[in-house]
Each structure stands twice: as structure tokens, then as C-alpha cells.
Structure 1
Amino acid sequence: MNRQTSTDRICLALPTNRACTDAIVGLGEEAAYAARTFGTEVHLLILDSCDETTRAEHARVVAGLPATPNVIVHHLDEARQRDFLRRAIQRSDVAVPKRLLGLMLPAALSYGACTNRAFLIASALGCRSVHRRDSDCTYQVLDGEQVFPIHHELSSLGKPAAEASPAVTETVLAAGQDHRPVSMVGASFIGEPSVDIAEIEQLDPGVYHDVVSLWAPTEWSDEQKEQLVEESFKGAGTTPFTADHSTLTLVDPMRVDMSNIAFDHDVYERVPLPPATDTIGSDYFLIHLVHDAALPGVLHNRHVENFYTPFRRTDAGFRAYQMRFVKFLLSMLYFNDVYERMGAAGAALLDEREHVRGDVIAGFLRDSAALDRAENIWRLDRVSTSYRKLGGRYATFADRMDARRDQLLDEARRDTEDFALLIDAWPALVRAARETGLGSADA
């Protein structure tokens, strides 16, 4: 899919449902750095799902950002996002418009859906890439200067790997891969773990191991599960940035985080992210797809710094986050199967022009949705037993989870089917978004 503009445009995106004035200021500074250093037109996109008071404070901060040449800010509340989506969906003439609107802008929290909206809006703006950040992360600082990930992203993204190679520290690609474009550039985070389960490890390391290992394929060996537990959710540790290092390679999905990632349009305009609600990890699918399709990427070390927001430390935040974690574990029955199929397919995930094939992915998802859910019943049993060992609010949560067992099992399967449906409709939605433009939804 070719860009319909001669201007080099990118989208630096921040989806948020929480107060994050500092993140907005930091993002404005990263946008200015990108425009100044690379001469690109940066569309700074803030997708704001906050309450009215918080949005008003965000709007005040946006209005106070320094005017910078080639930086255009779009601050969209959900009403304006919905207006854009309705117009694009109507123009796309898809068969189930109301259902698709619900998948793109659900009432509940969805990490995949908010990023999918950024993808469609980036297409409407004529951008060649999306660079995603999170509201609970900050940039590292070295010698008084912020360390912006976009430096590596714009140095390589979209270029044939052979042309991008001089800009990285090292290249580790198999023969025959260097003609493909760099499709993803990413790093991870330092600081607090990305998933709010560190307390479990402090209370009982054995329970922590049992619970975290539940996202592994059941047929894995104990050694494989042990390694997964050791690596999961901890990012790049705690060592601060001191000097750049980057590798042009097939990027290991365990080494990058969606708070610090950029994708070329040739990926996200063909396959979206899973739109599952209240499920952590639902936005990581494209990282696996890029790797399994043997599309080159760049792994760098300009990690962002992760921190926990106050809400996550409240009882309500605890309950919400633990449920998202459980739903993530249930989703892995289906995604582990799909990932195995993608890994086996390899180059068959690409068409004759070496673009990712959404129809193949949708087929894998539909096949996986028919799997026996006995494995997920086992997962719920294991979580319930483990949390009851911990007692206190974990045991109380187990009671709430057990009361929703059938609902949770059904939702995991339906989320998989919904993802396949969205992939089917995605090419038409992308075309319609381009034709519609952001229009009246613009800030």
C-alpha cells in the first residue's frame, strides 16, 4: 500500500486513560527532536479516554506545548475518535459496521483497540509509521539530555535492511533477508515490572513461578518454563542507559515492549492488533508476526522507564489488573497455537510482494478458536489454587474469578473470533480511513 503523499510523515502516538501531563510534555519534546533531527513531519497523536476534568487538564498542557516546525498535535477525546471511526466504517461498507465500531472503540479498556485506532488515524493522516509510547513511562536521561527511542526508529524503519545496516551497531540476519524492509524498531523498559504481580513473588516465589508459567505452551519442558518465568515482565532490568547499542536482526518478542515500539505501515495496514478487552498483552501480536515472518527489525537499548500509577496500588486497581492478567493467561490457549502455526509457516506468511497476509492469520485464529477449552479450565483451577495459598485479597479475588469462570472461558474464545473478524475487515477499513481523512475529528 503506497503512501498518498510526498511528505515524510510519521505518527507518534500516546493512548491514555489516565492523567499524564508529564508524559504529554515529554512526547512533545520527542516529537520536536524527531522533526529537528530527521526533517520529518511528526503528527503527535494523543488518544484521550479520560474523564472530562482530566481531558481539560491535558488540553491545557497540549495548548502550552512550544510551537515547533513540522510538529502537528492531535488531541482527540473518545467522541472525536468515534466520529472518525463511524465515518471510516461507513465508507468501508463492511458487513457488520456496529460490531466493528464496538471492536475499535469498546466500552471497556483494550490495549489492542486503542493502538488500532492509532493505526487507522495514522493512515488517515498519510503517515508511513506509528511510534507508540505509554502514559506510565518516562524517558531516561544521560548527561542532562533525554534519551529518545525515536532516534533509532527513524534511522532505520522502512529502509531495506541492507541500507539500514550502516546505522546500527551490528547486523545479525540470515542470507537473503537484507532486501526486506525494516518493519519494526523497538526496545524495552527499565524500572518496575510491566505486569503488576511483583507482590506475588515477594509473598511466595513458588506461587509466582506456578502462575507465571501458565502462559507457556503446556507441552513445554520444565526448563523452558523456568526460563520463561525468569524473563517474563521484567523488561531490561534496572541498569540505566550509558551508550547506544543497536542490532539489525529478527527481533525476539521477549526483548521489546509496546511502550517503546515503532511499526512500518506495511505491517499495521495489513494486520491489526487483537481487540480483546481487559486483557494485558493483547497488543503484542504484531511483534510476534514480524519475527515469525522473518521481517527485519532493529533492537536497541534506549529503554523507557516504567512506573506504577497510584490507581494500580488501590484495591480497585488490584482487582482490575489481576483480572486482566487472568484473561491474558486464558488468551494463550489460542495465541500459543497461532504462534506455533506462524513459526512453522515462516515465509508463507508473506505474499508474492513479501507483505504479511492477513487472510492466513485469520485462518489460524479461526482454527484455534475451535480448540478444546479444557486447558483453560485447568489454568483457572491453577490460578484459583495459587491465589488461595496467598490468602488475603488474593483469596478474595479467587472467589470473584471463580464466580465468572464460564464467562471468562467464553470471552477468551469470542475474543479470538473477534480478532479474525477484524482482520477480515481491516484492508477495507484502512482504505476508507485514507479516503476519509481525519477531517472533523481533528483537534
Structure 2
Amino acid sequence: MRRICLTLPTNRACGATISAIREEARYAARHFEVEVHLLILDSSDEPTFAVHAKAVDEADPIPGVVVHHLDEPAQRDFLRRAIEHSGLAEPARLLDLMLPEGVSYGACTNRAFLFGAALGCSSVHRRDSDSDYQLLDGEPVFPIHHELSSLGRRASEAVDGVTESTLDPAHEHKPVVLVGSSFIGELSVDIGEIQQLNPEVYQDVVSLWAPGDWSAEQKRELVAESFRGAGTDPFVGDVATLAVVDPMRLDMCNISFAQVQELVPLPPARDTIGSDYFLMHLVQDAKLPGVLHNRHIVNFYTGERRTDPGFLAYQLRFTKFFLSMLYFNAIYAAMAAAGESLLDDRQRVRPREVAAIVRESTGLDTAENLRRLAVIDRCYRQLGGRYAEFADLLAPRHEQLLDEARLDIEDFALLIEAWEPLIRACRATSVHPLPR
């Protein structure tokens, strides 16, 4: 029986989400011939972890579902053993990239990829702790329905699991390596207040993630569709399209991968939103098939973001996102130019080619990022209040942030080069330490 990994990385209290994702696991095991490994990677504080653990331990067992609830010490133990088994150089650095201090959106998902390999899972299905499922006639609408209908199948065979196909027949012999959707509800990035305070400033700030040579009209179009997901219309019936999927239609709270996640990881950048979207772009640029469906997840904000410390932390992650785009815009352009040459004769991504593109970008001139920082400084001071306070805190860190953005890309290149040996080592490493 095929094993799959349904994963929930979290660093906050989310008992309701854990209960909901258990029901999605139940649905998968009941309706598909799969064994579901529900993987909760829990980085929350000890009291919160204890509450989660109690809920997991006291829940009724679900046939066909195996639950793994791991705190950071348990995650670190597994990673240390796997890295040691891999024989890779710089084991301490690799461990730090996999489980860093602070927030890393890419690292938490990379850990899920490694645990999935260790558990013998053929696919990884990711959800978020600050999201929920839509309802239709009082029943939850689970994305895993479409994920398991198509993921891992040859595209020509996956047609019977979708409602339409826009895939070029030239790609029908390739495997479906991505199935995903988006969200409805609040913006995926907590910047709605900026738009309310000053729409012109919102335009100037959000357009900073575009390539520097884009026209004003291209930037306006980008801003108009950025961070909005699928809008607000509720689910009323299934639509699933087999295609080379546009990353702008996807969100990491509602995504699944097969094959590709064992070849190339996500960028492990710290305190940088959007750093976990890389594989969506790689799949698109390499012309690999995916399925885009409309079982959108409901996005909501936690109270922590509304606090002053939460606000400052989030704005820093937002700023670092813009700085990372100097490199990612160049990387995505190079991957798009490479196209199907990124694939080998088995239609698998070539990690060395991807790593070379990533590493080459580290030599880019940082003048464009200096301009980004200048725009943020000007715009946030114009907004005033706590935005101006953030600009004051950011100003002395400009040079440091420029260096961090480049070093993040260097770390990413290193991790890509280490990824396949690390995946192999994980397959031979027990998730739970063996009793002595």
C-alpha cells in the first residue's frame, strides 16, 4: 500500500487545526488505497506542545493513519542521525540549515520532506496552522481528494481525475509532481493596513518584488493580484485543471509534491516570507505537469501578528522577502530559459543544474536591493506611527540585511548539492530512535 505524508508544521497553539487535519487524514485513508502518516512538526513552546500532545494521545485511533507528533528535540535527534549517516561535509552547518534558530518557512517544509522520505512516503501534502477547511453542505472540503487523484501519475493517466486539461500533449508522458490550490479569506501577507492607510504607498511597496527592469504597468498588474489568493468566493463544486501550473495560483498552505521534493529542497532562509515557494517555480519552468484545483483553504491571522513585537517581526520578514527577490527573479529567469533541459531522460529534475543557477546568482550587483531599502524607508516613514518606528530600527541594519540575503542564497546552493545524499540517508534512518 502506498504511503503518503500529510504534514502540519507549527510553532503556535493550533488544537483545532490538528483535529481538522486528522479528519483529512481519515478521509484519505477511507477513500484511497493509502497509508497516511500524519506528521506534526511542532516547534511551539513546552506548555503548548504538551496541550497538543495530550490531544493527539487521547484522540481515537484512525484505521490507516499513523500519527507522528515531534517536538524540536526529537526532530533534531533524527536530523543529526541522518546527517551523520550521509557522511556529508559540514554536518553542523547542515543541521543549522535544517533546524535554525528563528523562523524559516523553507526549513520547516524541508524537514517534512526528509521525514517523509524516512517514513517511506511517496508524496508530501502540506497544510498550515493558521488555516482551516471550507465547508459544503456542512462537510469539510479536503484538498487531499484532488492530490491523491492525480499526484505521481503520468499526466496522460491523470486526465480522468480532473475536470479539464490545458496541458500541451508534448508533456503528457511526464509525471504529475505537484497538485495544489490557494486560499480564500485574509491576505496571505499581513499588509492590508498599508493599503487602507495609503494605496499609493501600498503600490510602491508591493511592487518591490518585481524585477527592477519591469515597466510601471507590469508592476501595477503584479500588485493587483499579489497575496490575494482566490479571493472570497466560497466553494460550490469541483474544478481541477491538468496544466503546467502558474505559481501565482498556489499557496503553501494547500500544496502537495511527489518526486521533485526528493531532488531539490526549498531555500532555508531565515525570517523571510515567500522563501518556501521555490519548487512551484521550478516545476513550472521545467514544464512538469501539475493539477490546479479549487478546494481553497480558509486563511486567517493569529493574534500574535497584531502585537507590537509580532508586527516588527513580520515586517522584517516582509522586507527580507523583497531583498531575496533580487536573486530569485534572476534564478527564475534562468530556469525559465533552461526549460526542459533542467530534466534528465527520466523527466526528473537535475539538481546540479539548479544548484549552478542558484550559485551563479550570488554574484549579482546589490544596487537594486539598496533601492528597495530606500523605498521601504521612504514609504514607511510616510505611513508614520509604528511603520516609521520600524524604519528607524531597520536603517542601521541595511548593510547586514544585504549580506544576509546573499548568504541565504549561498546556503541554498549548498543544501541543493547535499539534498540527494541526505534523502538517501533519511531512507535508511529511523524517525524514532531505536531502544537500546
- TM-score of the alignment, normalized to the shorter chain, above 0.5: yes
Kindly provide the CA deviation profile for residues 295-319 of structure 1, in whole angstroms up to 9, marking residues without a partner as x.
0000000000000000011111100
185, 201, 209: which one aligns with 1:207 = 201
Tell me what 1:148 maps to: 142
User: For the residues of structure 2 that align with 1:24 and 1:61, how far apart are their CA atoms?
Assistant: 9
Question: Matched residues in 2 for 1:409 and 1:109: separation?
Answer: 18
Q: Residue 234 of structure 1 aligns with which residue?
A: 228
- 1:106 is aligned, of 100, 108, 112, to 100
- Cα shift at 1:437: 2.5
Q: Separation in 1 of the partners of 2:347 and 2:175? A: 10
Q: For residue 86 of structure 1, what is the aligned residue in structure 2?
A: 80
2:169 is the alignment partner of 1:171: no
What are the Cα deviations for residues 61-91 of structure 1, in whole angstroms up to 9, with x where unaligned? 1113221111000000000000000000000
| Structure 1 residue 367: Cα displacement | 0.8
Paired amino acid for 2:384? G
Indicate the residue corresponding to 1:349 in structure 2: 342
Q: Is 1:432 aligned to residue 408 of structure 2?
A: no
* Structure 2 partner of 1:225: 219
Corresponding position of 1:302: 295
User: Does the 8 A contact of 1:338 with 1:365 survive in 2?
Assistant: yes
Question: For 1:263, what is the secondary structure of its paired residue?
Answer: strand
Where 2:61 maps in the other structure, the secondary structure is coil
For the pair 1:63 / 2:69, whether they are aligned, the reply is: no
Matches within 5 A, 1:187-206: 187-206=181-200
Query: Any stretches of 5+ residues in structure 2 without a counterpart?
Result: none
Q: Percent identity?
A: 64
- The one-letter code matched in structure 2 to 1:110 is S
Tell me if 1:275 matches 2:273. Answer: no
Aligned-residue CA RMSD in angstroms?
0.9
- Alpha-carbon distance in structure 1 between the residues aligned to 2:375 and 2:434: 46
Following superposition, which runs of at least 4 residues in structure 1 exceed 2 angstroms of deviation? Answer: none
CA deviation after TM superposition for structure 1 residue 220, in Å: 1.1
Partner of 1:135: 129
For 2:226 and 2:168, the matched residues in 1 are separated by 27
Pick from 68, 72, 91: which aligns with 2:66? 72
Shift of 1:188: 0.3
**In structure 1, the residue corresponding to 2:39 is in which secondary structure?**
strand
Match in the other structure for 1:15: 9
CA distance in 1, matches of 2:35, 2:8: 17
| SS, match of residue 277 in structure 1 | coil
Partner Cα separation in structure 2 for residue 228 and residue 62 of structure 1:
42
Aligned partner of 2:274: which letter?
G
Work out the CA distance in 1 between the residues paired with 2:165 and 2:179: 14
- The residue that corresponds to 1:254 in the other structure is 248
In structure 1, what is the equivalent of residue 41 of structure 2?
Answer: 47
Between the aligned partners of 1:206 and 1:63, the Cα distance in structure 2 is 51
Aligned mates of 1:68, 1:36 — CA distance in 2: 10
Aligned to 1:334: 327
**Equivalent pair of 1:184/1:298 in contact (CA under 8 Å):** yes
1:121/1:441 CA distance change after superposition, 3 Å? farther
1:261–1:441 Cα change, 3 Å? farther
The answer on 1:244 being equivalent to 2:253 is: no
Matched, 1:323 2:323: no
Tell me the equivalent position of 1:36: 30
Letter in 2 for 1:211: V
The alignment partner of 1:436 has SS state of coil
Tell me if 1:381 matches 2:390: no
May I ask how many residue pairs the two structures share in their alignment?
A: 435
TM-score of the superposed pair, with normalisation by structure 2: 0.99
Residue 222 of structure 1 deviates from its aligned partner by: 1.4
Where do 1:336-415 residues align within 5 Å?
Answer: 336-415=329-408
Shift of residue 403, structure 1, vs aligned partner = 1.5
TM-score by length of 1: 0.97
Deviations 1:190-210 (A, max 9, x none): 000000111000000000000
Separation (CA, whole Å) in 2 of partners of 1:327 and 1:14: 24
| Distance apart, 1:160 and its partner CA | 0.4
SS in 2 for 1:406: helix
Q: Identify the residue that residue 4 of structure 1 maps to in structure 2.
A: none
Partner in structure 1 of residue 285 of structure 2 = 292
Q: Which blocks of at least 5 consecutive residues in structure 1 are unaligned?
A: 1-6
In the TM superposition, what is the alpha-carbon distance from 1:292 to its structure 2 partner? 0.6
Q: 1:180 aligns with which of 154, 174, 177?
A: 174
